Amino acid sequence: MIIAVDGPAASGKGTLAAGLARHYGLPHLDTGLLYRAVGWAVRDLGDGPEFEARAIVAARALDAGHLKDIETLTSAEAGVFASRVAVIAEVRLAMRQYQRDFAHQPGGAVLDGRDIGTVVCPDADAKLFIVADSKARMERRARQLEARGQVVDRYALYHQIEERDARDMANPHGGFYQAEDAHLLDTTRLDIEAALRAAVAIVDEAVARKAEL
Ligand code: C5P
């Protein structure tokens, strides 16, 4: 079974995808980490052709070993570099096969990102599109960062999330939109347990419906 979980920054998609993976006993890939790893690898290069060329090389060389420094990769700064490399078509292409191979391993997998239901796994058995309003997303991300001991400027964080969303949605190579057959789940007023219950209900129903066809 392949489960695709897409949505904007800090919508709760990562937590839900991990919860779904536990629930169904499936492996989970946070595809944002791939873009973060590539962005982080070229963070010292300014704009221009070298940035792009080196990002493409980094994307082609990417493997699980590059995804280990979770603390660095999940920082707000790495998120900004991730969205800069995510607009490069060849970077996306290089990482597509990695994601598809992960999805199509025996038994299937849960993948979360922006374009899983639209581009990476259009054939997924269940697709969820997770949303939450911008303030709720900012507050969640702020608490995550504070729990790690970081000092958070909420105003700056809010604008950073909005800016990243705008760039992701305008990405001509991004495929970041709700797939026609994806189920919308708004987590603004849901705690983690309630959101996971809702997500499991959506997946169970999608799988049951597919079995009927
Ligand atoms: O999901 P996360 O916030 O970790 O993603 C970081 C960035 O990576 C996103 O803002 C987006 O630019 C990019 N991304 C993407 N496609 C994905 C996953 C992430 O373009 N499937």
The CATH label, of 3.40.50.300, 2.60.40.420, 3.40.50.970, 1.10.10.10, for the domain at 2-212 is 3.40.50.300
Please provide residue 203's backbone torsions phi and psi, each rounded to the nearest 5 degrees. -65, -45
| Predicted local distance difference test score (pLDDT) of residue 93 | 95
Residue with the smallest CA separation from ligand 1 atom 5 is 32
pLDDT at 173: 87
- At residue 175, the pLDDT reads 83
Name the percent of the chain in helix, strand, coil, to the closest 5: 60, 10, 30
Whole-number pLDDT of residue 64 = 87
List, in order, residues 6 or more apart from 17 with CB less than 8 Å away: 3, 5, 28, 30, 110, 111, 112
Report domain extents, the chain: 2-212
Examine the pLDDT at 191 and tell me if it is beyond 80: yes
Within 6 Å (CB) of ligand 1, which residues are found? 9, 31-32, 35-36, 79, 82-83, 86, 113-115, 164, 168, 174
Question: Which residue has the least CA distance to atom 13 on ligand 1?
Answer: 83
CA of 86 to the centre of ligand 1 (A): 7
pLDDT of residue 77: 87
What is the per-residue pLDDT across 122-134, written as a single tens digit (0 to 9) for each?
A: 999 999 999 999 9
Q: How many helices and strands in the chain, by DSSP H and E?
A: 9, 5
Which atom of ligand 1 is nearest to 86's Cα? 20
- Rounded mean pLDDT, 184-211: 95
Query: Which string of DSSP letters, residue by residue, matches 135-185?
Result: HHHHHHHHHHHHHTT----HHHHHHHHHHHHHHHHH-TTT--S--TTPEEE
The pLDDT, as a whole number, for residue 156 is 93
The per-residue pLDDT for 152 is 92
Percent of the chain surpassing pLDDT 90? 75
* Predicted pLDDT of residue 76: 82
CA atoms of 143 and 145, how far apart (whole Å): 5
Give pLDDT tens digits for 65-92.
888 998 899 888 898 899 899 999 999 9
Which of the four pLDDT bands, split at 50, 70 and 90, describes residue 145? confident
pLDDT digits (tens, 9 = 90+) for 16-48: 999 999 999 999 999 999 999 999 999 988 777
pLDDT of residue 174: 86
Q: Whose CA is nearest to atom 12 of ligand 1?
A: 83
Q: Which residue has the higher pLDDT, 136 or 46?
A: 136
What pLDDT, on the 0 to 100 scale, is given for residue 150?
A: 85
pLDDT of residue 111: 98
User: Ligand 1 centroid to 205 CA: how many Å?
Assistant: 27
